[in-house]
């Protein structure tokens, strides 16, 4: 695997080694030993999500003590994956980072605690896998408006995104972080 740093502290892009032949391919997507040794990450919850084109999910996070670090990988299709640094003492607080993740590229993103996360499906459909280092707790789940003008995120959407009712009603970053 090739680990690439970003301009955001602890936010990593990982390119996986693919072993391919005429039968198909094999990819090691998770090694508890490496992730725990290098990042102190231990997966306690895994999710698989399928979404159709133009579905936008986000920007989600959880408050302490249920904050979550995430390993996000696309199995099929492609998404624009976006994170926003919500760590108040961070030099990149309020800044966003985006990357296209695809089942074809076999890359994934490691998102440390303290980031809001969201994505928009670019292909006809996408299947994603999440590994999380903490359980989900609805009472501590929060979000930030995907279209907050201060974030200036280009979601690369033709037309209106498909949103859940919850995601339509998230506050701006300023309001959300004032409540933390």
First vs last C-alpha separation in the chain:
36
The tokens of 159 are what? 């037309």
Q: How far apart are CA 132 and CA 130, in angstroms?
A: 6
What's the confidence (pLDDT) of residue 29?
81
What's the confidence (pLDDT) of residue 136?
96
Average pLDDT along the chain: 93
Query: What residues contact residue 57 under an 8 Å CB cut-off, 6+ apart?
Result: 49, 51, 118, 119, 120, 164, 167
Which domains can be identified in the chain, with CATH numbers? Answer: 2-178 (2.60.120.10)
What's the confidence (pLDDT) of residue 33?
81
What's the rounded mean pLDDT across residues 109-118?
97
What's the rounded mean pLDDT across residues 55-59?
96
Q: State the pLDDT confidence band at 118, using cuts at 50, 70 and 90.
A: very high
What's the confidence (pLDDT) of residue 40?
83
Task: Enumerate the active-site residues.
Answer: 60, 130
Is a pLDDT exceeding 80 seen at residue 36? no
Percent with pLDDT over 90 in the chain: 76
- For residue range 66-89, what is the model confidence (pLDDT) as tens digits? 999 999 999 999 999 999 999 999
| Whole-prediction pTM | 0.92
Asked if 81 contacts 155 with a C-beta cutoff of 8 angstroms, the reply is no
């Amino acid at each position: 695997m090739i680990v690439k740093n970003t301009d955001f502290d602890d936010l990593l892009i990982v390119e996986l080694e693919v072993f391919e032949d005429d039968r198909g391919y094999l990819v090691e997507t998770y090694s508890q030993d490496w992730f725990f040794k290098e990042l102190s990450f231990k997966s306690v919850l895994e999710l698989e999500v399928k979404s159709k084109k133009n579905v936008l999910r986000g920007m989600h996070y959880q408050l302490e003590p249920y904050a979550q670090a995430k390993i996000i990988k696309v199995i099929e299709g492609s998404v624009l994956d976006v994170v926003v640094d919500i760590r108040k003492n961070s030099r990149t607080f309020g800044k966003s980072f985006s990357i296209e993740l695809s089942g074809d590229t076999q890359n994934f993103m490691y998102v440390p605690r303290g980031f809001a996360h969201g994505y928009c499906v670019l292909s006809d459909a996408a299947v994603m896998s999440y590994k999380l280092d903490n359980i989900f707790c609805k009472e501590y789940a929060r979000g930030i408006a995907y279209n907050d003008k201060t974030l200036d995120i280009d979601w690369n959407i033709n037309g209106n995104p498909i949103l859940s009712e919850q995601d339509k009603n998230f506050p701006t970053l300023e309001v959300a972080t004032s409540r933390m």
